[in-house]
Amino acid sequence: MKTVRINELRPGMKVVKEVKDAQGMLVCPADTPVSERLKELCLRRGVEEVWIAEEQDAAETRGTVRETPEQIRKRVREKFAPYMEDPVMARLCELAQEYLLRREEM
Q: Which parts of this chain interact with other proteins (CB under 8 A)?
A: 18, 26-29, 32, 37, 41, 79-80, 82-83, 86-89, 91-93, 95-96, 98-100
Indicate the residue among 41 and 53 with the shorter CB distance to other proteins: 41
Q: Using CA atoms, how far apart are residues 58 and 60, in angstroms rounded to an integer?
A: 5
Indicate the residue among 56 and 97 with the shorter CB distance to other proteins: 97
Indicate the residue among 61 and 106 with the shorter CB distance to other proteins: 106
Q: DSSP E strands: which ranges in 9-83?
A: 14-15, 19-20, 26-28, 32-33, 49-52
